[in-house]
Amino acid sequence: MNNNKISVIAGLFVLLGTTAFAQQVDFALGFSTIHSAPLSSSQAQQQFPPESLTGGLYPAISGDVAIRKHLAVGAEITWRGGQGNYDLSQPYRPIFWDVDALYLPKLAPKVQGELSAGIGAESTRFYTPFTICGNFSCTNYQTSTHFMGQFGAGLKLYARGGLFVRPEVHFYMVHNNAEYTSPYVVRYGASIGYTFGEH
């Protein structure tokens, strides 16, 4: 597990630790897929053309803590569930993580909106057939990481108590996303989660 994942998971535990002081704390597990631009004709003429990120199943873990009535801070991490084959030969797995500000308006007694904006990174692991050792650990991959911005929208539909289902969409703008066909990535899917506190 790399430092980016550790940071996001540690952040989620910090959010959990503040439950007693917050009006609302949410945790969710979701599944989604990704759409990005296909390979263009000019990119196809390159010797090693970039890959499109479209497709694949992406599990996601997210959490947020309300800091005011309709405002919250949160974090999310999502990764491709199975390895893809970059250029039909190189196994790879993209990982997206972000830290966000959220606006949570109440739309109806059992419906809450969710708008988010934040920053994070896209990290792609390129797997190798051999192990690479550093000062503290050994891995079988090399990572390429790019800064990104994130904008998202979701709709929390409460079933019973704090249990909710959240259809959602996220838009990523990835800086210098040279490994892929576009710097713009759309992720859409749904999460199941639970709200602690009033909602």
State the pLDDT confidence band at 14, using cuts at 50, 70 and 90. Answer: low
Looking at residue 85, its pLDDT comes to 87
Q: What is the pLDDT of residue 59?
A: 98
The predicted-structure confidence for 38-48, as pLDDT tens digits, reads as follows 767 666 556 66
Under a CB-based contact definition with an 8 Å cutoff, are residues 97 and 74 in contact?
no
If we measure between CA atoms, which residue out of 73, 60, 57 comes closest to residue 24?
Answer: 73
Radius of gyration (Cα) for the chain, nearest Å?
18
pLDDT at residue 177 greater than cutoff 50: yes
Extract the runs of DSSP E, i.e. beta strands, from 111-137.
111-133
Q: For 86-100, 129-143, 185-199, which range has the lowest pLDDT when averaged over its residues?
A: 129-143
Burial class (CB in 10 A: 0-12, 13-18, 19+), 46: exposed
**Could you give all domains of the chain from N- to C-terminal order, each with its CATH number?**
3-197 (2.40.160.20)
Tell me how far apart the alpha carbons of residues 112 and 119 are, in angstroms, rounded to a whole number. Answer: 23
SS3 content of the chain, % helix, strand, coil (to 5): 10, 65, 25
Would you say residue 19 has pLDDT above 50?
no
